[in-house]
Amino acid sequence: MPVIETFREALLAAGKISLPAWRNGKIAIAHKKGPGDYATKSDLDAGAAMEAILTKELPDFPIVPEENKTGRLESEFRTERQKILASGSFILMDDLDATVRFRHGGEDWGHMLGLVHDGVLRHAALYLPSRDLFITAKRSGGCYLNGRQVTLDQSATITDGLLSLTLHKDVAEEVHREVTSRILYETAPSGCVCFNSNIGGIVRLLQGELCGLLQFGHSWDFVGALCITEAGGTAVAPTGDELAWQQIPMVLVAGANQDIADELLHITSQYIGYHEHIYSNPKFQN
């Protein structure tokens, strides 16, 4: 079965688990690491459903999931995950993105899959069950939202648009304050929002509601970067370099067009604290 079709089958299977739980509000927490840092039973069950399909249909690509469903010690799980990343070819899987939004009734949550081959992200699919949105992208093959090709506005500007500057519980306050305040005062956007949802920010950029993004997270959070680039936008690391899919901590800078991305990169590329506070921060290695 082709990759995108397999991803679709897997994501729809995940949605059949998560959507009923979201609708009836019965969200059981499976394990909790701290305030706002937990996985629900739906995270684990949806991830298991996707893994069953992916393992059967795409056996040549090991899976790098967010959640540990193996029953092994967390240290063993992370060591094995790092070995898979080092191979350069794998499937990135976000079992359920924006769990806090999911648990509290918000709509900006969903499931994501991306296939990396020889270090290059080649296929991606995002599914937001509560919004009935399905987004796919293939490298050099375009981006499609519910079957309609997406083309981002090349004439959009920051001063007329909205930026999403997403918070993250593990980003030091001084880092976020310094970078985002500079962006707000130096680019003068029409407005700024915070979805606290990586999938929500990416999809709303693709829908034209946002003109740019600065997001902190993990590699599986940002497989939608391929959707942005295939729609004509820019999605890169804060230095302007290509995103490195073989590392887990990640910072995404994205714009609906190159001009918007360049305005953000002019600021983010000057800040060297990403290595200390994010890439080398143990909290981002999970």
Any idea which of 51-55, 76-80, 178-182, 268-272 has the lowest mean pLDDT?
268-272
Cβ neighbours of residue 147 closer than 8 Å, sequence gap 6 or more: none
pLDDT digits (tens, 9 = 90+) for 126-168: 999 999 999 999 999 999 999 999 999 999 999 999 999 987 7
How is the chain split into domains, by residue range? 3-149, 158-285
Distances (CA, A) of 168 to 22, 124, 173, 251, 284: 23, 23, 9, 11, 10
Q: What is the pLDDT of residue 206?
A: 98
pLDDT category of residue 32 using cuts at 50, 70 and 90: low
Are the C-beta atoms of residues 220 and 114 closer than 8 Å to each other?
A: yes
pTM over the 0.75 mark: yes
Q: What is the pLDDT of residue 23?
A: 95
Query: Does the pLDDT of residue 37 top 80, yes or no?
Result: no
CATH 3.30.540.10 assigned to 3-149: yes
Encoded tokens for 208 = 């034209």
pLDDT category of residue 27 using cuts at 50, 70 and 90: confident
Distances (CA, A) of 15 to 3, 57, 125: 18, 19, 13
Q: What is the pLDDT of residue 26?
A: 80
Query: Does the pLDDT of residue 2 top 80, yes or no?
Result: yes
Q: What is the pLDDT of residue 169?
A: 72
Matching residue, tokens 């500079």: 182
Q: What is the pLDDT of residue 31?
A: 74
Encoded tokens for 173 = 């306050």
Q: What is the pLDDT of residue 35?
A: 60
pLDDT category of residue 34 using cuts at 50, 70 and 90: low
**Helices within 124-270 (DSSP H only):** 173-187, 198-206, 225-230, 258-268
pLDDT digits (tens, 9 = 90+) for 197-252: 999 999 999 999 999 999 988 999 999 999 999 999 999 999 999 999 999 999 99
Listed residue (18, 250, 252) closest to 128, CA to CA: 18
Q: What is the pLDDT of residue 265?
A: 95
Q: d(Cα 192, Cα 159) in Å, to the nearest integer?
A: 11
Please state, as a whole number, how many other Cβ atoms lie within 10 Å of the Cβ of residue 14: 30
Are the C-beta atoms of residues 207 and 164 closer than 8 Å to each other?
A: no
CATH class of 158-285: alpha beta
For range 178-188, the mean pLDDT: 92
Matching residue, tokens 């499937």: 91
- For the chain, the first-to-last Cα distance in angstroms comes to 31
Encoded tokens for 286 = 């999970």
Query: Does the pLDDT of residue 29 top 90, yes or no?
Result: no
